[in-house]
Structure 1
Amino acid sequence: MKPLAIICDLYNPALLIISVLLIYKQKARFQSIVFFLWVIIIAYGLMFVDIQLGFWKMFSLDYSTHTATAVGMIVFIGVLVKAPIRIAVLVFSLVLYAVLMKVLGYHGYWDVITTTVVVVPLVLIGFTLIKKSVR
């Protein structure tokens, strides 16, 4: 199981490296940085809110910060690359990541699903607002 744990632990750092490289390649670099910061604020802001309010615990679930950051970065990368095949590969990698977290006992599927359902709209709303206001 240790190699699987290492793979799981390297997933978000790999997405971070891809995100930073994409930011570097963007013409609208400032806008990309603001969008990326929004992703991080959402992921960790929701964690803070959940710690304070215990929303996920009310449903016997666990907010997954790992999932939130991964999903946020995948949306971020997807918005920047705009290539359906690459986006499909990223989504597939996220599904594998969710399975791996379940196998390793880090999170259940419902933890991942509920975190994703909350994070994706917030990230996309932020992207839309940032795109309109930061030029």
Structure 2
Amino acid sequence: MTMTAYEVLDHIADSVNPTLGLLAIALPWLRAYRSLRPPPWVRVAGAVLCVGAAYLGQAIDRLTGAWPAFSLDYSGHSAVCVALLVSLGHLSRRWTVASIAIGAAYALLMMYQGYHTLADIVTTATPVGLASAAVWRAITMRSRVSADH
């Protein structure tokens, strides 16, 4: 049985976040990143905290109906993607550039497939991105303080 283009793209879309999750867990342990501060286990914990922020946003939306009140839809896929991409971006400048490209491609794919509008994606990604940046700012500051002592 042949899959339609929509079905193929749906499978690709469904694989993005699990792949990013595996990368966020595995990459900090590779030799190229292992010696960076903070240590690998803190990087993995930071990624988990960022994903937690994505799901917290979804829970808040479900409790308050904030996105539907503006005729929007909280994009859980976008939220998790941004949380993981912000975490991966803290590995290196190359990962920062790759994260921007991956995030843009994923947003285009979700819009092409009709899952979400640009407004859904932007209004979800913005608070999750800010929360994730705050997590990493705290981790980075804590790591610098630990290195000084």
Q: What TM-score results when the alignment is normalised by the length of structure 2?
A: 0.82
Which 10-residue stretch deviates more, 38-47 or 86-95?
A: 86-95
Cα distance in 2 for residues equivalent to 1:98 and 1:81: 22
Provide the identity percentage. Answer: 27
Aligned residues of 2:61 and 2:67 also touching (Cα < 8 A): yes
Aligned residues of 1:43 and 1:68 also touching (Cα < 8 A): yes
Shift of 1:58: 1.1
Aligned residues of 2:17 and 2:80 also touching (Cα < 8 A): yes
- Choose which of 14, 23, 26 in structure 2 pairs with 1:9: 14
Deviation digits for residues 7-39 of structure 1, max 9, x if unmatched?
A: 111111111121112232334023212211211
Tell me the C-alpha RMSD between the 2 structures. Answer: 1.5
Shift of 1:91: 1.2
**How many equivalent pairs are there?**
133
Deviation digits for residues 105-125 of structure 1, max 9, x if unmatched?
A: 211111101111111111111
Greater C-alpha radius of gyration: 2
Q: What TM-score results when the alignment is normalised by the length of structure 1?
A: 0.90
Structure 2, unaligned runs of 5 or more: 1-5
Aligned residues of 1:43 and 1:65 also touching (Cα < 8 A): yes
Task: Write the letter of the residue equivalent to 1:40.
Answer: V
